[in-house]
Chains A and B, each alone.
Chain A
Amino acid sequence: MLQRLRESKSAQGTILALPTTIWLFVLLIIPLILTMVVSFGRRSPDGGVIYTFTLDNYTRLFGYSTDCPDGQASCFDPLYVNILGRSLSLAFNTTLLVITLAYPLAYFIARAHPKQRNFYLFMVLIPLWTNFVIRVYAWMMLLRKEGAINIILGWLMNLLHIPFAPLEMLYTPGAVLVGMVYEFLPFMILPIYTSLEKIETPLYEAAADLGANAIKTFLRVTLPLSMPGVVAGTILVFIPVMGTFIVSDILGGRQVILVGNLIQRQFLDARDPTFGSAASLILMVMTLIVTYFYTRKFGFGEEIVVA
């Protein structure tokens, strides 16, 4: 028996991979299947699940409502569709802004003297490793009516003799956008840096020798070669932004409800796991569709592991 095991490469591989595969099967695959099953169920009066097959949770999510104002039997209620749309557009905007901010910084580090690069990267890692919740809290303090941003603005306006009333920035969609950009910025800087750093300097020299100016070199050499990093960064930013609920919870208050908040409330406050599961499946499908088309267009960089 032992002898056979020693000789069978395939059996050895199976045994080595078994613990991880079982672990992931039990705690990732089965939960996903279970979520799917629950999403077709109905909520029991005590907040549990009655296993049946109904599409009610999905029709409700996409706007079918029986609770109508003028006595109609059914009508369209855009509440949940709006939440899905808001999450999607916030994720797009966050990703775009993050790319805009991350690219120059990554470029700066990649073109820095090799001895200085580690220091600049170190400066990116500190905010990245500071806890997610703490980073949201930091923005809560800055954006408050009495917070530092208003104090500095007030001081500047006073200097310029312009009347100034503190801005209400906290609990607005803008606050959530800023918080999201801040949270996920390092996840874009690192992969872009990794792909920029791989570009060899002779390439730049060749471009210059062939008469390309700085802008042309950037557009024809740097940008295309850094695309794998941008793609990897986009996946690392877009997917978590779609599902995060802390940022909107703390910085958006009751004003900005995203699909993450919707799901969380179904499981904790509203106690309707069936509706929460349906919302969570739709969230997963949305991110998978976007990721699929995006990676099919631009490829799937290995930079994703680096970050």
Chain B
Amino acid sequence: MGITFRKETFRDDFTFRNSPEHIRRFPFPFHEDAYMYAVNIEPHVVGPKGSVLENLIDVDEHYVAEMQDRALVLAEDPLRCQSLPHMTLAGWDLLELLMEQQALGYPEHFTLTRDGDRWRWINRPLGIDDTFTFGDTSTLPYGPMEYITRQSQGDFCILDQRDGNLWMDAGMVTTQADWSLDFDIGMNFFEWHAPVPLAHEKGIFVRALKFLTNIQQGKPARRLNWTMTINPRLDTSPENYHKWGPDRATVTPENVGDKVHLRVELQSFWRLPRSNGIVFPIRCYLIKMDELVTQPKWARRLHRVIRDLPEELATYKGLTRFRPTLVEWLSKLDDGSVTSSGFGPD
């Protein structure tokens, strides 16, 4: 039967919503009543049916609308998609991975057929049917990375591995939590993470790099990260911060439930077979407070996490201006009872 793709927007009138089934499958990121950085990396293996982990590359009801929003961002600012000259092969690796995974998980929507290097890709939701030669960039309308990431939910960073480090040398980044690919491209793992507070001192990045440089083909890994966004806006780039920043001053006790969104990133890490690069998809899930608190466990837990968040983290995540209003609103939904361990709703 396939997915019913929603017609919705992530800007202007903000018509984005989650269906009841998508609320239940939301990747709530807190397994306990508090949050601090950790190297929370685990094998990226298939999870329960009906969860966002049912397929390793998740396609959901927001697919078509997200791809439309990406096209708008790129039309305004083509620098959101960049690939240094040595990264083209890794782009083909990524194209193969995403076509294979999307066709595998959603055969009713995507079909990949291969005859040697002659490939045919059918993407029904976006009305695409292209035949091209794998490895020959002139047979596609864009470079391989741009071509396939215009058809795949989430941001994608392709990291080159050399000198015992990972280098941010290519990416498609239009739904980011306030970091600039254009500025960070070419940086190594420690450099592009430089502005993150507290985590360097905890040795997080040294351990994470050690893990990531050892990722093997066919054994991807994943972690969750989170922040909060006012309005369901995908493009919270630093480039446009002066346009979306004022939203943070619009939160009132009356509109918290509608305006404040939990933004969860499902980050996964995959070794690429030809280039030996790592691709790092950052898949963004949004849920408004009114939707999230339909699960009482999540409401109680989120109240405690946000209330007790260290000040540096709240500042880094940009929550300072609306945190008191949000905590006050959530506190009314927290009766103090014990929350069960684990991420899922009760």
Do A and B originate from a single complex? Answer: no
Q: List chain B positions with a Cβ less than 8 A from chain A.
A: none
